[in-house]
Structure formats: structure tokens, C-alpha cells
Amino acid sequence: MAVRVKSEKGDRGFRAQGPGFAVALLVSVVCGGTIGYMAIEGWGAWDAFYMTVITVTTVGYKEVHDLSRAGQLFTVVLLFGGVGSALYTFTLLATVVVEGGLPKRLQRRRNQHMLDTMKDHFIICGYGRIGSIVAHQFRRQHIPYVVIERDPVRLQEAIDDGGLAVEADASREDVLSRVGIERARGLIAAVGTDAENVYAVLTARVLRPDLFIVGRAETDDATTKLKRAGADRVISPYQIGAMQMAQTALRPAVVDFMALATSSDNLELAMEEVTVTPTSALVDQSLLTANLRQRYGVIVVGIQRKDLRMEFNPEPDTAIHAGDKLVVLGRPDSLKQLDNEATR
């Protein structure tokens, strides 16, 4: 379960008044007392340390050695300063444990560690109606992701859904760096307004020129601006929703088949894209010689070339090149085997 990750400024302010500061204060008092007794009375380090501890904690034991007048005066000063520091430290630590602050701090550190080590993940900017659905799909397919959301209510919803979430502005460079944009697989800009999405896409593109970015647009004007800002794909929920309704009314069987092929819950049939790496044995082979249908039981529906040109229903003698993306249909386990060969 994830919790809110606070800003760096907030963390610094909290540490300056929290348990860390209290413990540092108490350690400073003990060290100062030990050094003081060693300098004034000429005691060894252990005797000076022991005398400091029994003084600061007011346990009431007898002095380790007889004190000089200067040593007595130093003990009075240590009592006034040290006892208050000890009470402050012990009280604060007890409050942290009793009120549950310690588990929250540990959880926050674990989540920060997850952010620091996460890779090949997606960054979802915004957790509204679109962002929450995207996150739900990622969870069903076990795809790692992190949410950036400014609204505390929506942020809590993302946390309650089991996601890793950061309360911040998605258009800030330091925020994107904190969520590991340099190690991310892609970014989805689904913030509330088109202007915010444009800023988020522009910032992400500046930080990662090679990052795959999907932006949400509500208007045609926003679609153009998002593409100019650096989005690889721009999705208009209203346009896609309307087209889906029209296709369902005209060709319900086709829509049902596509929904079946692209559903992550389907165990019998799936449609996937497989990227062919330069080191794959499939490079420069034709579909006929690669024999994908007989070897894996998959159907190559289309091939997207490196220039993004799509070839639908390719002929058997169509060549496979490095960097191509094969759009294939088949059983999930067969698609996994093909993906392993294509990326070797």
C-alpha cells in the first residue's frame, strides 16, 4: 500500500522539528557533557560519559568521583540544559510511536525507495475519470505506474486503489525527476484541463526526448498544441467514445471481437504488439520463412514500420526489419514466446 509522498521542502521543515532533531540535540548534550567532565575533572571518557548520563536522566546515583567547585557548577548547567533536552526527546519519540507517526515515516521511506528504484513504469498525470481508468487497466495487467495528482481527495483515492502516488504539480521538472522519468516507459497526461496537459507534455519532452507520451485532449485546438508540445499520441475521449458508439450500432460483432481480443481478462485470445530488436533472429526474414503461424499459432494482423507507416494484412513475402512492431493475434502464452524471440 502506498502513501502520500510530500515535497522536499516540507520534509526538510519537518525534520528540523521532528524526532531527528530531538535525538541530535540529546546526543549533542551528552557529548558536550562528556567532553566537559573530561576537561574540567580530568576523568577518563567512560567515567565522564557515565556521569553525564546519570545527570541528564536524573537517576540520582552518587557521583563517579568527588567533584571540584568547577565540576559542580558544570553539573548544575548540565542539569538545566540536559534534563530539558532529554524530556523533550523522550516525549517526542513516545508521541511518534503512540500516534502512529513512526509507521507512517517508515512507509514514506519505503515508497520513496520504490520511486528511486522503479523502472519501465508509466507516469500518470492526473487521477480523474480518465487517469483512474488507465491506472485500473495497468493494475489488471501488472504494469508498474506512479500517479501525480494535486487534489488531496483524488490522491487518496489513488492510494486506496493500491497505487503509488505523489501530491505535486505534474508540469514541474523536479517532480517528474522524483518519479523517475529518466527510467520510465511512458507518460500519460490526463490532467483536468488542456492547458495543464500541454505544460506536462512539454516538460516531459524536454526532460526525455525519447519518452513515449500520450496526451488527453478535449478540443481540436488542444490536439494540435499537444502534438506540437511533443505528445506521440493524442486521445480525445469524447471523439473515441462517439466513434465506439457508432461502430457498435453499425457493426456490433466487429466491436465485440475487438473488445474480446484487447481485453486483459481474456485467457484464450489476445492482440499484442511485438517489437523486433536488431539482434532478433526474425530480422530480414519474410513472414513465410519466419513461419510464425505454424511455430507459435499467431496471426500477423499488421506491421508498423519505423517510420510509423502501418501495413495491414501483410503478404507472406513481406520482410521483417529491425524496429518493426508486429501486431499479432493469438493465445497469450504464444504471444509471450514470440515476444521472447523478437527481443532476444
For 169-192, how does the pLDDT look when each residue is reduced to its tens digit (9 = 90+)? 999 999 999 999 999 999 999 998
Do 123 and 188 fall into the same domain?
Answer: yes
Residues 162 and 133 in one domain: yes
Q: Which range of residues forms the domain containing residue 178?
A: 118-240
pLDDT of residue 191: 92
Q: Which amino acid is at 321?
A: H
249 lies in some domain: no
Asked which of 98, 132, 147 is the last residue of a domain, the reply is 98
Q: Which of 64, 98, 132 is the last residue of a domain?
A: 98
Residue 304, SS3? strand
Last residue of a domain, one of 67, 98, 129: 98
Query: In 3-state terms, what secondary structure has residue 264?
Result: coil
Q: What is the tally of structural domains in the chain? A: 3
Claim to verify: residue 132 and residue 224 sit in the same structural domain: yes
Pair (83, 136) in one structural domain: no
Give a yes or no: residue 246 inside a domain: no
Cell of 343: 527481443
Please report where in the chains the cell 485500473 appears, as a residue. Answer: 136
Please check whether residues 124 and 76 belong to one and the same domain.
Answer: no
Listing DSSP states for 44-94 in one string gives: -HHHHHHHHHHHHTT--PPPSS---HHHHHHHHHHHHHHHHHHHHHHHHHH
Contact 73, 41 (CB under 8 A): no
**Residues 195, 149 within the same domain:** yes
Please report whether residue 105 resides in a domain.
no
Give pTM, 2 decimals.
0.62
Q: What's the pLDDT at 8?
A: 43
**pLDDT tens by residue, 225-245:** 999 999 999 999 888 889 889
| Identity of the amino acid at 156 | Q
Chain segment 300-339, per-residue pLDDT in tens: 999 999 888 999 999 999 999 999 999 998 888 888 899 8
Residues with pLDDT less than 50, the chain? 1-15
